[in-house]
Amino acid sequence: MSITVVGSVAFDAVKTPFGERKRMLGGAATYFALAASFFDEVHVVGRVGEDFGAEDMAVVATRGADVSNIERVPGGKTFFWAGEYGWDLNSRETLDTQLNVFQDFQPELSSASRGCDVLFLANIQPELQLSVLEQCGETKFVAMDSMNFWIGSARDALIEVIRRVDCVILNDAELRQLTERPSIVGAARAVIDMGPSSVVAKQGEYGAALITEDQFFALPAFPLETVIDPTGAGDTFAGGFVGYIARQLDSSPAEPTLRQAMAYGTALASYSVEEFGTERVERLTAGEIDARVEDLRRITQFDHVPAPLEAS
C-alpha cells in the first residue's frame, strides 16, 4: 500500500532541560514520513522555502520517502517554530511561530500522492485537509490530526473532515475540547458518532488509548529514565501507527491490527524522544523497533490469578 502525508515540513528551535538546538529539521510531515517509511512507500506533500537545503530534504527521504511533492518556494523561508519545555517535559511554551511559506500552503497533490491507499492528514487548517481529501481517489484508510486552535476557530470545517476519515488522532485535551465531554471514553464515542471507526487518544507520558465502537485498548508509553526532547513524538507515533496499518491492510483494519499498530507507533515515538528532533529515528533500525514492541508487551502483561475472595 502507498501512504500519502500532508503537513508541515519545518525548522524548529527547541530548548529542553537537557540542551537545545537552534535550528533542527522538524514538522509533522517530516516526523511522520521518517517513521512510516519503515513500513511502506510514503509520499510527502508540503511546502518549504529556499533555505531548505538538499541535505534537509535527504533526511526526510532517509528511508526512501518520495519528496518530489514538497514544493520549494524560491526566495521563501521555511516554517519556523521555537519552543521551550519545562522541567518534567510535560509543559511547553511556544516562543515563536513564523508560518513563512506555509502561510499560503495550498496542497496540490501529484498523481503519485493522489493515488495513495492510505492518507494521513497532519495538523493543518481543516479547509486544506478537505481539499486534500477531495484530490485523493479511493482510499482504504484515512487518519487525521488537528489541534486546539482549529477546534476553536474552524470547528465546522474540522467536523466535516472528521466525518470523512476513518481514524481521528488527538490528545486528551483536544478530545475534551472538541466534544465537551469530560471523560475520554465518552469523548471518543462522541467522535465515533460523527463517522470515524476509531479514535486514538494521545496521552503524552502516559501513552495512548484506542477506542473503537465496541472496544477499548490502552498502552503505556515506553518507560524512559531520560527524555531528551518530546518534539515530534505524536507525529512519529502516527507514522508508526498508520505505517503498520498500511503494511497489514487488506480492507478496513480489524481491531487486533489497530492494537498492534498502537504498539509500533508507541515504540517509534519512544525512540524519537531519546534525542533531539529526528536524530534518533534517522538511524533507527527495524530490529530495534521490533525489540521495543516486545518490551512493550512485557511491561503490560499480567496473569489473572484469582485470589480466593471472601464471598460477600
State which of residues 31, 38, 141, 271 lies at the interface with a second copy (CB under 8 A).
Answer: 38
Query: Residues in contact with a second copy, total (CB under 8 A)?
Result: 67
The answer to whether 275 contacts a second copy (rule: CB under 8 A) is: no
Q: Which of 176, 202, 236, 277 binds a second copy (CB under 8 A)?
A: 176
Residues 179 and 225: their CA atoms lie apart, in Å, by 34
Q: Is the separation of the CB atoms in 42 and 65 below 8 Å?
A: yes
- In the bound state with a second copy, the residue whose beta carbon lies nearer, of 126 and 207, is 207
Whole-angstrom distance, CA of residue 45 vs CA of residue 70:
5
Cβ atoms 36, 1 nearer than 8 A? no
Of positions 11, 31, 32, 39, contacts a second copy by CB under 8 A: 39
Work out whether 185 is an interface residue with a second copy (CB under 8 A). yes
Contact between 216 and a second copy by CB under 8 A: the answer reads: yes
15 binds a second copy (CB under 8 A): no
Residue closer to a second copy by CB (options 54, 305) is 305
R_g (Cα) of the chain, nearest Å: 19
Comparison of 65 and 133: residue with beta carbon closer to a second copy: 65
Residue 5: strand pairing partners: 44, 120
Sole window of 1-9, 47-55, 85-93, 101-109 interacting with a second copy (rule: CB under 8 A)? 85-93
List, in sequence order, the alpha helices (H) in the chain: 28-36, 54-60, 111-114, 126-135, 148-153, 155-163, 172-179, 184-194, 233-248, 255-272, 279-282, 286-298
Give CA–CA dist 84/96, Å, rounded: 10
At 62, list the grid cell: 532517509
Q: Tell me how far, at minimum, the Cβ of 200 lies from a second copy, in Å.
A: 14
Kindly state whether residue 219 participates in binding a second copy, applying the rule CB under 8 A: yes
As measured in angstroms, the least distance from the Cβ of 129 to a second copy is: 27
Phi-psi region of 100 (alpha: psi -120 to 50; beta: other; left: phi over 0): left
Closer residue to a second copy (CB): 54 or 307: 307
In degrees, rounded to 5, the angle at the alpha carbon of residue 227 between the alpha carbons of residues 286 and 295 is 40
Distance of closest approach, residue 64 Cβ to a second copy, in angstroms: 7
Using the rule CB under 8 A, is 207 a contact of a second copy? yes
Listing from the earlier edge strand, what are the strands of the sheet with 92-98?
A: 19-26, 10-16, 80-85, 92-98
**At closest approach, how far in Å is the CB of 230 from a second copy?**
12
Which residue ranges make up the site for a second copy (CB under 8 A)? 17, 37-39, 62-64, 87-89, 176, 182-186, 189, 203, 205-207, 209, 211, 215-220, 223-227, 243-244, 247-248, 256-257, 259-260, 262-264, 284-286, 289-290, 293-294, 297, 299-312
